[in-house]
Amino acid sequence: MQKERLFAIVGSINYLIVVFLNAFSDLGHKIIIQNTIFKVYDGQMQIVLTAVVNALILLPFILVFSPSGFLADRFAKSKIMQYSALFAVFITLCIVYAYYKGLFIEAFALTFLLALQSAIYGPAKYGYIKELFGKEHISEGNAAVQAVTTVAILGGIVFYTLLFELRYTDALSSEAEILQAIAPIGWFLVIGSLIEFYLALKLPNTMQEASTRNFKLRRYLKGAYLLKNLKTIRRKREIFDAILALGIFWSISQVVLAIFGEYVKSNLGVTNTIFVQGVMALAGIGIVFGAIFAARYSLHYINMGLATVGALGITAIVASITFVESMAIFAILFALFGIFSGFIMVPLNAKIQMLSPRVHLGTILAGNNFIQTIFMFSFLCLTTLFAYYGMNATSLFYLMILLGIYLSWRLFKRYLVETFWAFMGICASFGHRYTYHGLENVPQEGSVLLLSNHVSWVDWIIIQLPFERHINFMMEKDIYYWPFFHAFFAKGNAIPVSPKASKDAFGIAYERLKSGMMVAIFPESYISKDGQIGKFYRGYEMMPTDYKGVIVPVYIDGVFGSVFAKYKSKGWRNIFKRREVNVYFGDALSMDTQHHEARNIVINMKEKYGR
């Protein structure tokens, strides 16, 4: 249903197709140039030239940081995408001319102009997500854009590599001969750009208020805009940290993709570009699924813990590459690399857009591109330098492992508790599908006491999943001090309870509620063995009610009888079918609601909604 609502937004389909065609055409020309290099050059020179191609694509994002941000804030983002698409039509026509004439250097250089168009287009494209889809769909919008972009990249790799190989023969020995042989392929770039321009003309203008700022060339050339815009980006530390994390991630990705071709050629003797590009393209398939999963796990809020999970995942994948000697296993690893990449990109991009004020959205997104590009450009230069002086691909993979460890540590440090909940949510979703009802009954701010039935070991995970606010759970003291988990429970402000010191625990819960936090209690005190609502203990009634807050009753249905419950269902069950779990949040109650009243309300919820 969420997807239907997303695509029902006027202009959403046209926008996503425009995003697809822009990436598809950009990637097509890059693939043709890279495959030409792959066929003509070997070893270190191949790594150097591949890195130079990637550098030409990145350099415009550095040079037009300030102008692209200004344009995205000053003018309607739909208009910028329209003019950028028109510019792409003229560039692709020039590219086709270079192909037919066998002008490799000129075609190589036109990579820069095509990237320049993307650099101007980028801030408007990503800023348009927030304007078109709104804050309530920002994670889904980012996931859709990331999935569409990745499909375009994947499709471009497969499509243009297949056409390249079909027209290539071993008799072709020079760059000029290869370009002339594949020249007709260039018309697909032109056709794609024309369709992109036509659909861009149909995009709705979502600009709420026109900006009156002016751009002064002298200030730009002196670097005044650069310093001012960098200062704007650094105002919110979380935005800046997210941008840095994306920069490190893209650096790892760029280097891995740049050296993989030479690595398999030298170590496995693979020379067919279809195999090499096809394996790397599987990362694109992974990104599509990773983006979809990230949107699903961010259905109720931006799940930042996924970024840490993703960073740990790509680090493990890069570490595994150096031990693999099979293209089939490489294919699996690159697909997983893509999934974990989606976990990184979707929440970090969504968080940047969400925290950015509208008036500076274009500037911040341009700064995001700028800093990411600085990272990628720097690492590609290092890759070129290391390769030139004899460092092989294996050594470069080791460097990327270290960088991945650093990225994981940065994200883990900032999103420690979020990482724990993201990991728990992923694990809990393997066998369950969760649907939440009545979330509007839970205030987003202020003191909230949740009183829930208790049917499984994972009830606390289930209740936390739809909330960005951290719930202060009251839990048994023995569980609170479990090895490994204790650090997360303590950081997450869980409240340990023991039969001998329950008064102290409720005193802590009272202080948390008084300061406006959310506390959750399972007043039955034990996990139900028969699925019925047991006796509610009156411990929470010992807390004073000298503050403004509400009690929200909760009923969990569908977990009883599962592997996480004390009672296990008898008989055969399809392990591939996920269990449907429904969680109901009742109407808010006053803080002086008695335990027997709360129990009756939960029983009524069970009778009304239970299966």
Q: pLDDT of 287-324, one tens digit each?
A: 889 988 888 888 888 899 999 999 999 999 999 988 88
Q: Taking Cα atoms as reference points, which of 298, 328, 60, 278 lies closest to residue 164?
A: 278
CA atoms within 13 A on the CB side of 452: 29
pLDDT digits (tens, 9 = 90+) for 535-586: 998 888 888 888 889 999 999 998 877 777 776 555 555 555 778 899 999 9
pLDDT digits (tens, 9 = 90+) for 139-186: 888 888 888 887 887 788 778 888 888 887 877 878 888 888 888 998
Return mean pLDDT, the chain. Answer: 83
SS3 196: helix
**Within its chain, how far is the Cα of 480 from the centroid?**
32
Q: State the amino acid at position 402 in one-letter form.
A: L
Give just the sign of the alpha carbon dihedral 527, 530, 533, 536: negative
The stretch 93-107 carries a mean pLDDT of: 89
Distance CA(456)–CA(517), nearest Å, equals: 25
Position of tokens 């994200």?
411
Q: State the amino acid at position 478 in one-letter form.
A: D
The pLDDT of residue 207: 67
The two three-digit tokens of residue 284, written as one number: 């694109």
Compute how many other C-beta atoms are within 10 angstroms of the C-beta atom of residue 306: 31
Q: Is 3.40.50.800 the CATH number for 430-609?
A: no
Mean pLDDT lowest among 213-217, 224-228, 341-345: 213-217
The two three-digit tokens of residue 535, written as one number: 């006796």
Distance CA(143)–CA(297), nearest Å, equals: 11
Question: H helices of 234-326, where?
Answer: 237-267, 273-297, 305-321
Q: State the amino acid at position 592 in one-letter form.
A: D
Distance CA(195)–CA(18), nearest Å, equals: 8
| Res. 278: pLDDT tops 90 | no
The pLDDT of residue 92: 92
SS3 448: strand
The pLDDT of residue 546: 85
CA dihedral angle for residue 498, residue 504, residue 509, residue 511, rounded to 10 degrees:
-160
The stretch 523-543 carries a mean pLDDT of: 85
Distance CA(547)–CA(5), nearest Å, equals: 39
The two three-digit tokens of residue 452, written as one number: 């829930």
The pLDDT of residue 390: 64
Q: Taking Cα atoms as reference points, which of 312, 589, 546 lies closest to residue 441?
A: 589
H or E stretch including 474? strand 471-476
Distance CA(180)–CA(377), nearest Å, equals: 30
Residue 175's region, left for phi above 0, alpha for psi from -120 to 50, else beta, is alpha
Distance CA(189)–CA(404), nearest Å, equals: 35
H or E stretch including 609? helix 595-609
* CATH fold label, 2-201+235-426: Growth Hormone; Chain: A; (1.20.1250)
Q: Where are the domains of the chain?
A: 2-201+235-426, 430-609
pLDDT digits (tens, 9 = 90+) for 1-18: 344 467 677 778 898 999
Q: Taking Cα atoms as reference points, which of 252, 121, 277, 100 lies closest to residue 190?
A: 100
Strand pairing class (518-521; 495-497): unpaired
Give just the sign of the alpha carbon dihedral 445, 475, 595, 606: positive
Position of tokens 């200004």?
70
| Res. 601: pLDDT tops 90 | yes
* Measured CA distances, 153 to 161, 197, 314, 579 (Å): 12, 19, 19, 35
Q: Do domains 2-201+235-426 and 430-609 have the same CATH topology?
A: no
